[in-house]
Amino acid sequence: MTDQPIWVPPHARKKSSNLARFMTKLADRQHRAFSTYEALHAYSIAEPEGFWSAVWDEFGVLAESRGQTYFAEGGHMRHARFFPGARLNYAENLLKHSDCDKPAIIFRGEERVRLTLSWSELKAKVAAIASLLRSLGTRPGDRVCAVVPNHPDTIAAFLAVNCIGAVWSSCSPDFGERGILDRFSQIEPKILIACDGYYYNGKVIDISAKTAAVAAKLPTVGHVLLIDYIGEADRHARSMNNAQSLASAIAPWGQAPLSFERMPFDHPIYILFSSGTTGVPKCIVHRAGGVLLKHLTEHFLHTDLKPDDRLFYFTTCGWMMWNWLVSGLVAGGTLLLYDGSPFYPDERALFDFADEEGMTIFGTSAKYLDAVRKTGWRPMDTHELGALRTMCSTGSPLAPESFDFVYAAVKPDLHLASISGGTDICGCFVAGNPLAPVYRGEIQAPTLGVAVDIFDDQGRPVRERKGELVCTRPFPSMPVMFWNDPTGEKYHNAYFARFDNVWCHGDFAEWTSHGGVIIHGRSDATLNPGGVRIGTAEIYAQVEQIPEVAEGLAIGQDWDNDVRIILFVRLIEGHVLTPELIDRIRTQIRNGASPRHVPAKIIAVADIPRTKSGKITELAVRDIVHGREVANREALANPEALDLYRALPELRS
């Protein structure tokens, strides 16, 4: 890392930010100065009642009541409650700007489909779907599950489900039958929403047979509604039991009024799932009020979202970033949705979308930015990107070289906000700070209202040393529970078994001298050669600098009463793993990281297994290498890739 920032926000930009305005108003309200972000963050932790009530007021949360209590400690972190007397509706808050005809959603389905939905059209569609669901007997607390693309009708359906107090859960249509059933069979949905198919890499993919099979194996499902994406919804519906196209089903409800069920703050809004690569996915139940408040801070204060913004995040409906993206409607701007391959017809696809629609906030993954970098193409040479002012990255640690790429090849005057959190909290532990400089390879700050720290193995805070990312105080978007976990044992074991009454997230991280954070990878994937903990991201940051290497995956192999590092590399097409290339990779890792990071073996593979949300899965590969079967191959986007790692002769010596 370096002591010199790679970007400093201009004074005018800082002064006009939502965060600066919020700090000024909070100072007046509390009769105290908040001259720095650090001071504001300390206050947000020490006085949760004052901070979260100020967020509620500043961003105009709509509610039937807020109650007299803003925070109740509860004795243990997981028993704490925020606004226990409040009654509200999340969808009502997202649709409060809907009486206008400016675009609410602009959609691209690769080169096949272009749609724009105005705010008034979105409101009418939500009202129609909500009325339909009520007519089908859907009630508060019922589960509605969806196998859907990132499409405007998907967002309308989700908001309609929330309007009536039902509980949403979704996955993307590329999930296999087993993967869908592993998730949805646990929560017994009453309604199944699916698409008729989708487009990917220029191909039309029909999922009607899969949808019919899934519906038949979910005995609680009484009705199937099909989103018409590839033009086959009505035809597919005729071949299924109790199925209709969504468009046909809502036609009689075209003039229905929109009404909202205002539910308690902790009422479930949706159920998200863990990746499921080490067993049946955990069903993580999120609370509506907690998600709303957390996303208000992340969108308005950390991302600096404004009413005229056009917000984009490349995501599927099987990743929590979709849920995060949808909350961006709260500002009253426009969501930009893209479904399909980000590299079809070529690497310019998303940047074409950005230019065409005046994208102001561009969200993507670290892997996407690295993949674009490795093509050798420089977006700034071919695209204006005049409206773009913020780029967000998550999914895996953003390598220092990708910071360089963004500022040298995308746009030099850009707030690059690397962010990190998880499905578990449907939000971020660490994120961007619009008031602060960006340092190469660092995430800028802990998020407001979240008491982030880094502990050593003995549970002691450490600075500028690697350790476990933890949270020491309650925050609103902690899950309300796990489904089918009546005693709370699964919940406790997932987050609180490591340190007493402290949330342990499972990330290997360190504080920097600037007060930022570096994420070194998942703790359960941490390598331990000679008893020294090494984050896999540290190795990937070096490997990604080798032009011939598309991506790498590192694991620890049990060997000779110790652990040795094995690095698998997928090479750019046309290259082979020669002894000279192996030496260059090792030298890069030795010089860029340390001699301890150098792998004992470097092996070329044709593919690297990843989850449906695009994250590489070291644990599954580690199991295969050690002769253990992967319990849930359906959780992977490309499970066939695991067979490439089975019984490799190179690992026998």
Task: State residue 397's pLDDT score.
Answer: 87
Quick check: helix, strand or coil at residue 619? Answer: helix
Task: State residue 360's pLDDT score.
Answer: 98
Contact between 398 and 418 under an 8 Å Cβ cutoff? The reply is yes
Determine the Cα–Cα distance for residues 384 and 368; give it in Å rounded to an integer: 20
DSSP letter (8 states) at residue 406: I
Quick check: helix, strand or coil at residue 331? Answer: helix
Q: Which helix (DSSP H) or strand (DSSP E) does residue 288 occupy?
A: helix 288-296
Whether the bond into 345 is cis, omega within 30 of 0: yes
Does residue 195 register a pLDDT over 80? yes
Does residue 276 register a pLDDT over 70? no
Q: What is the pLDDT of residues 362-373, one digit of tens each?
A: 999 998 999 999
451-474 burial code (b ≥16 CB/10 A, e <16) = bbbbbeeeeeebeeebbbbbbbbb
* Range in 134-148, 173-187, 527-541 the model is least confident about: 527-541
Does residue 1 register a pLDDT over 60? no
Q: In whole angstroms, how far apart are CA 116 and each of 103, 331, 336, 379, 499?
A: 7, 18, 9, 25, 49
Angle CA 282–288–293, to nearest 5: 115
Q: What is the pLDDT of residues 573-622, one digit of tens each?
A: 999 999 999 999 999 998 888 888 999 999 999 999 998 878 889 989 99
Match 């090792």 to its residue by tokens: 586
Tokens coding 313: 């995040």
Does residue 135 register a pLDDT over 60? yes
Match 């499905």 to its residue by tokens: 423
Task: State residue 2's pLDDT score.
Answer: 60
Q: Which helix (DSSP H) or strand (DSSP E) does residue 363 occupy?
A: strand 361-365
pLDDT band at 637 (very low <50, low <70, confident <90, very high): confident
pTM to 2 decimal places: 0.90
Strand partners, 313: 363
Judge residue 560's burial from the number of C-beta atoms within 10 Å of its C-beta, 0-12 exposed, 13-18 middle, 19 or more buried: exposed
Tokens coding 11: 């004074």
Strand partners, 252: none
Report the mean per-residue pLDDT for the chain: 94
Angle CA 459–464–470, to nearest 5: 35
Does residue 278 register a pLDDT over 70? no
User: 281 or 330: which carries more pLDDT confidence?
Assistant: 330
Task: State residue 126's pLDDT score.
Answer: 98
| Mean pLDDT across 294-303 | 98
% of the chain exceeding 90 in pLDDT: 86
Helix axes of 119-135 and 152-163: crossing angle, nearest 10 degrees: 50
Contact between 541 and 400 under an 8 Å Cβ cutoff? The reply is yes
